[in-house]
C-alpha cells in the first residue's frame, strides 16, 4: 500500500500529540487544526482527557472546533459521561466553543452539579452558551442550587454564568437570598449586585453581601 505525503504528515502529527515535550505537542495540535482530517478527531478527544498542559489543551480544543460538528459531537458527548474529571471538563469546554445546541441535552442537572469544581465550572459556562431560547429560567433555577459552593473562583464562575442569563435569573436569586445557609444568601446577594452593576468587582460584592448577612439582612426575617 502506497503511503501518501498527507498520510505521513498525519502520522507524524498524531505521534507529536504524545511527545514528552509540551512544545512539540502544542505544534502538533496546531498542525492538526490547520489541516483538519476526520482521522484526527478520536485522538484529539482522547488527548484532551490526559493532556497536562493548559495551553496544549486549549490548542486541542481549537483543533476540534476546526472539524465538522457531526464528527466531533459524538465523541465529546461520550466524554461528558467519562469517569475522568479532566475528560468531562475539557469536553464541556470544547462543546461551549463549538456552540452547537444539539449538545444541550447533555447538560443535565447531574452534570451542572458535578462534584468536581472544574467540571461544574465548565458545565456552567457551556450551559449559558448552549441553552435554547425559552429554557433560561429553568437553567437559572438549576444553577441557583449551586450558590454558596466552593471557593471564590468557583463562586465567581457561577455568578458570571447567572449574570449572563440576564433578568431571567431574578426569581431564582431572590429565592436564594432567603436560604438557611448564610453562604448561599451572601452569594445570591453578591450575584444580584453584579446583575445590577456588571462592572462591580466580585470581591467587593461578596464582602458587602457577607456583611449584610452577618448584620441580619436577607434570610433573617422572623429568626
222: left (phi over 0), alpha (psi -120 to 50) or beta: left
Is residue 119 located within the same domain as residue 187? no
In DSSP notation, the chain reads -PPPHHHHHHHHHHHHTT-SSHHHHHHHHHHHHHS--GGGHHHHHHHHTT---HHHHHHHHHHHHTS-HHHHHHHHHHHHT-SSHHHHHHHHHHHHHH--GGGGGG--HHHHT-SSHHHHHHHHHHHHHHPPTT-HHHHHHHHHTTTT-SSHHHHHHHHHHHHHTGGGGHHHHHHHTT-SSHHHHHHHHHHHHHHH-TTS-HHHHHHHHHHHHHTT-TT-TT-
CATH number at residue 72: 1.25.10.10
In a domain, 149, yes or no: yes
pLDDT tens-digit map of 22-54:
999 999 999 999 988 898 999 999 999 999 999
What is the span of the domain harbouring residue 221? 144-223
Q: Which of 130, 160, 181 is the C-terminal boundary of a domain?
A: 130
Q: Which of 78, 96, 130 is the C-terminal boundary of a domain?
A: 130
Is residue 15 located within the same domain as residue 125? yes
**Whose CA is closest to 30, among 39, 18, 42, 17?**
17
Is residue 120 located within the same domain as residue 173? no
Is residue 209 located within the same domain as residue 102? no
pLDDT in tens, the chain (223 residues): 445 666 667 778 888 899 899 999 999 999 999 988 898 999 999 999 999 999 999 999 999 999 999 999 999 999 999 999 999 999 999 999 999 999 999 999 999 999 999 999 999 999 999 999 999 999 999 999 999 999 989 999 999 999 999 999 999 999 999 999 999 999 999 899 888 877 666 666 666 666 666 666 555 433 3
Percent above pLDDT 70 for the chain: 85
**Whose CA is closest to 145, among 119, 117, 91, 109?**
109
In a domain, 1, yes or no: no
Is residue 122 located within the same domain as residue 37? yes
Structural domains of the chain, count: 2
Give the Cα separation of 213 and 179 in Å (integer): 11
- Record the cell numbers describing residue 27, joined without a space: 505544534
In a domain, 3, yes or no: no
In a domain, 16, yes or no: yes
Is residue 125 located within the same domain as residue 15? yes
Is residue 98 located within the same domain as residue 203? no
Give the Cα separation of 152 and 187 in Å (integer): 10
Instruction: Collect all residues with Cβ–Cβ distance below 8 Å to 142 and sequence separation of at least 6.
Output: 109, 112, 113
In a domain, 4, yes or no: no
What interhelical angle do 54-65 and 22-34 show, nearest 10?
Answer: 10
pLDDT tens-digit map of 64-83:
999 999 999 999 999 999 99
Q: Which of 130, 156, 178 is the C-terminal boundary of a domain?
A: 130
Amino acid at each position: 500500500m502506497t503511503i501518501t505525503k498527507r498520510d505521513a504528515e498525519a502520522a507524524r502529527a498524531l505521534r507529536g500529540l504524545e511527545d514528552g515535550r509540551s512544545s512539540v505537542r502544542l505544534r502538533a495540535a496546531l498542525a492538526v487544526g490547520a489541516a483538519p482530517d476526520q482521522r484526527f478527531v478520536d485522538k484529539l478527544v482522547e488527548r484532551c482527557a490526559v493532556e497536562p498542559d493548559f495551553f496544549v489543551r486549549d490548542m486541542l480544543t481549537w483543533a476540534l472546533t476546526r472539524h465538522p460538528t457531526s464528527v466531533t459531537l459524538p465523541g465529546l458527548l461520550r466524554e461528558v459521561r467519562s469517569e475522568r474529571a479532566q475528560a468531562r471538563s475539557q469536553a464541556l469546554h470544547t462543546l461551549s466553543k463549538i456552540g452547537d445546541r444539539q449538545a444541550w441535552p447533555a447538560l443535565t442537572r447531574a452534570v451542572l452539579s458535578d462534584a468536581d469544581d472544574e467540571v461544574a465550572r465548565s458545565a456552567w459556562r457551556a450551559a449559558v452558551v448552549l441553552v435554547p431560547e425559552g429554557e433560561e429560567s429553568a437553567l437559572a433555577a438549576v444553577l441557583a442550587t449551586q450558590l454558596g459552593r466552593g471557593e471564590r473562583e468557583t463562586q465567581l464562575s457561577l455568578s458570571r454564568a447567572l449574570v449572563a442569563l440576564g433578568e431571567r435569573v431574578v426569581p431564582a436569586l431572590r429565592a436564594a437570598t432567603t436560604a438557611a445557609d448564610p453562604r448561599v444568601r451572601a452569594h445570591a446577594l453578591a450575584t444580584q449586585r453584579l446583575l445590577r452593576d456588571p462592572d462591580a468587582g466580585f470581591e467587593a460584592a461578596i464582602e458587602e453581601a457577607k456583611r449584610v448577612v452577618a448584620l441580619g439582612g436577607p434570610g433573617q426575617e422572623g429568626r
